[in-house]
Amino acid sequence: MKIALYSDIHAQLAPLNAVLEDIDKENVDHEVIIGDMIMGGPEPSEVLERIRGREKAIPLLGNFDRWVMNRVDEQENPFPHRNESIRLTREHLADGQVDWLKTLFCSITLSPEPGHDFLIFHGTPNDDNGALPLRLTDDEVRERLGGVTAEIMAVGQVHAPYIRQVGDQTLVCSAAVGACYDGDSRPAYSVVEYLGDGNWNAEIKRVSYDNEAQAKLNEEGWHPGGERQAITIRTGVHWNPDGPPH
């Protein structure tokens, strides 16, 4: 079993197309989108339609997708500065796209053989607003995993791809497509392959595309904060000098 994994597209179509072009060369069995397909960019409807057209795609919800889908902007929430972005993203979706989001799950377990589980989720197993950044200690990671026993896990959210071992478990961060925060402006995805007998191989992939054109599209678009997102798209560094949110 060979799986491509990508996440945190944030309504950016050009980097998604670049990643998908590369994935098409990998001959994978499945491609799992680990959430945050929309919100944070000017092309939410286009991104969803692109994903819906992928025969092998298994899309999962991220926290941004859920916020838009559940109209969190119309409720009390801890991030009122996001409300305009949530509302405008929903208004820019095509008919039926919110209903399609409602059919998706937040996580999936793939098991190529009994007892060899690959768990995939956006933030942490029990919280799509949570995250597993690389700066966490092994003990902190275990606490956030909450006793999950899968041999290997893939996550999004953090916007800085990595592969790390936590004891006998492998953790793969596959983010991000839309904009990375690790100093590399190229979109990232991962490929995980089960080799048999409990052996897994994981690899981070990067692709190039015209990020300057995408940055300008964000600066000139309707989405709130597009000029800030453009900085990250150009540089691979979070626009906030105090650091990214996770």
Q: What is the mean pLDDT, run by run of 10 residues, along the chain of 246 residues?
A: 98 98 98 98 98 98 98 95 97 98 98 97 97 97 98 98 98 97 97 97 98 98 97 95 76
Give the pair of three-digit tokens for residue 120. 């995939």
Instruction: Give φ, ψ of 122 to 5 degrees.
Output: -80, -55
Helix (H) or strand (E) holding 97: helix 97-101
∠ CA 136-141-144, nearest 5°, is 120
Give the pair of three-digit tokens for residue 24. 């098409």
Rounded CA gap, 55 and 159, in Å?
26
- Type of residue found at 236: G
pTM of model > 0.85: yes
Mind listing the pLDDT tens digit for each residue in 34-75? 999 999 999 999 999 999 999 999 999 999 999 999 999 999
